[in-house]
Amino acid sequence: MNQMMFDEISRQLGILKEPFEDSIAWQNRIKHSVLGLQLLSALYDKYDDFEDDALADNSVSRQHITSRAKKLADIFAIEQDDCDAIIELYTKMGFMLEKRNRLVYPPVSTAQVGQNVIVRGVHPSSAVVVSGLGFLIESNSVTLSNIDEMFNLATIEIMQWHESFMELLTEQWVDAKELLDVQFFNPTAKPWESWSDNSPKSGLILCRNTELAGRRYRIVSADRHRCVVLPFIGRGEYRRLEISLRILADNPPKAKITKYKRTSIFDCDFWLPPMEQSFVELYSWKRGNSQDSNRWLQSRIVANELHDVFIRIFRRMGYEIEEV
């Protein structure tokens, strides 16, 4: 892609270069969004590169999407793994539905965001605002849901969740056997040093076995006399417990938000729980050249139309927010 093409796509999608980024970073944002929107568009094709049958159920073969991803990866000179990750994220967030090893676009769902509408199940050509892999369309009278319902986001504050969670454990404590080959979560440590062989000396302790296969999490009392296995915490949901334990240890996760003319940068020193993290990744761009990378685990760029939505998510998860 030459500069003229980037300029034209930038104009069409409204992905304009910001003062904090160089040309390469800006072009990478454009490529990321175009790749995602093109993959979504392939769901609406009236033909299938691998099957001759009429698409009566509006589905396409998985090979149709993966083949399109390979072609786009070659055009944009990006890794195939990046394409696969985009398809996985779209599938997780309900933009691509699986149907007998085929893929189909979902029923339309919408939620009001300012003057526009966040939408799923609509062709990307309707986009008026693009942010990461997601987009917004012009406001209409058919608003069926809200963002929390659409994407299964938490609706209560993190410490309310923690209180309810601990109530579930009151009758589940059992005598703890000797804990071998485990790592402990230290809520006062730096985020990238949270898990280690050293056990905290007080409070409730979260631990996990060192084996990735069949990994299980336990909560252990500080005296190690009682523990409860948490078989129902999986697929990253333990993040919610990590965050609440950090808050109890007076070390809440932190986010710095820097607002520019069209976008905002969210620098964060911890991960969100799975659905919240996936929402953030879907509707933002990863910042590849973030400053102070020793402090922040992730740095995301989001269109200002979603600025308040992001802040609400981080506040609900107990993040200490600094707005610049």
Domains of the chain: 158-248 (no CATH), 254-323 (3.40.1170)
Q: What is the pLDDT of residue 141?
A: 63
**Structure-token pair, residue 34:** 């175009």
Q: What is the pLDDT of residue 200?
A: 81
Q: Which residues contact 29 (CB under 8 A, 6 or more apart)?
A: 15, 21, 285, 301
Q: List the strands of the sheet with 320-323, edge to edge.
A: 285-286, 298-303, 263-268, 254-259, 320-323
Question: What letter does residue 287 receive in the DSSP assignment?
Answer: -
Q: Is residue 59 within 8 Å of residue 103, measured between CB atoms?
A: yes
In terms of Cα–Cα distance, which of 78, 31, 20, 85 is closest to 289?
20
Q: What is the pLDDT of residue 113?
A: 92
In terms of Cα–Cα distance, which of 110, 109, 151, 167 is closest to 272?
151
Q: Is residue 135 within 8 Å of residue 90, measured between CB atoms?
A: no
Q: Report helix, strand or coil for 229.
A: strand
Question: What letter does residue 98 receive in the DSSP assignment?
Answer: E
- Which amino acid type is present at position 125? S
**Structure-token pair, residue 111:** 């939620």
Q: What is the pLDDT of residue 136?
A: 96
Q: How far apart are the first and last CA of the chain?
A: 35
Q: What is the pLDDT of residue 204?
A: 82
pLDDT below 50 — which residues of the chain? 54
Q: What is the pLDDT of residue 54?
A: 46
Q: What is the pLDDT of residue 51?
A: 67
What is the rounded distance in angstroms from the CA atom of residue 67 to the CA atom of residue 62? 8
Sequence length of the chain is 324
Q: What is the pLDDT of residue 293?
A: 59
